[in-house]
Structure 1
């Protein structure tokens, strides 16, 4: 029996070290393409990374625009249209991309301060109560998506 005591103590220590904080949901690669017409909405894109638990994105807020809505481009009988999204599921340990031609943000009235800074802070509201603050790079109308930075691909 005494020979097993060190093994029991060691297995308990291993079990404790493997029980860390659960991996959180996070958002990266956020960017906004300005509309060429200030009277029409700009578009926002990002990638949501699911943590250890599934959640939902319930909305996006910013102090740098008048209004933000989540939308999805859909093909209905060969004709593209957009529909608003009240929420978006973020499954555990997966990614959900908001990208041109699919899910995206519609952002009305991006203010000149954000445009001058070249970025705007977005607040992502999750169903689990988390609020994620993420800076989105602002791109001029017609510009390509910014290249992801190496730190955008870090493991969480």
Structure 2
């Protein structure tokens, strides 16, 4: 009777220690979306939120098969003028968020593919400094804010009686 209790007494601290040691929380991306430019000759813009895991990370770039070119940019205001510059990398501190949002950091996407537009989404690959590649689907929205895959509303009287 003492042997099972002694075995439990020896292994319990080890089991408790192992259960407290989980995998570290990873860096991840969510809320990704692309606002289509109303003019196919000008770039569209991409937005998302990067969440830092237990350790800091750095976003080094973004790729996609659904656009000709993708760049990270940042908008800045100075002296009443707004300008934009390319960004090579973005630090994502541990346990914090970095928003790519209108008026700040964002993606510029040239030549968004018609297939992605009709599907209403495109896959983006986020390149991290540790070698990770995070695959994320971004919803595609028209310049007016509606989803690109949403059919156009019908005109009053159209299709009546069918």
Per the TM superposition, whether the score is higher than 0.5 is yes
In structure 2, what is the equivalent of residue 57 of structure 1? 59
Q: Which residue of 2 aligns with 1:29?
A: 31
Runs of 4+ in 1 over 4 A off after TM superposition: 3-8
Bigger Rg, structure 1 or 2: 2
Q: For the residues of structure 2 that align with 1:55 and 1:95, how far apart are their CA atoms?
A: 11
Q: Which residue of 2 aligns with 1:149?
A: none
Picking from 144, 156, 162, the partner of 1:142 is 144
Q: Give unpaired runs (5+ residues) of structure 1.
A: 146-156
CA distance in 1, matches of 2:108, 2:128: 18
Match of 1:94 among 92, 96, 116: 96
Deviation of 1:21 (Å)? 1.0
- Structure 2: segments with no counterpart, 5+ residues: 148-162
**1:60-106 CA distance string (max 9 Å, x none):** 00000000000011012221110110000011111111001110000
State the 1:144 CA deviation. Answer: 6.6
Highest RCO, 1 vs 2 (Cα 8 Å, sep ≥ 6)? 1
Q: Deviations over 1:33-73 (max 9, x none)?
A: 00000000000000011111111000000000000000011
- Alignment map for 1:98-137 (pairs within 5 Å): 98-137=100-139
Select between 123-132 and 4-13 the one with higher mean Cα deviation. 4-13
Matched length? 144
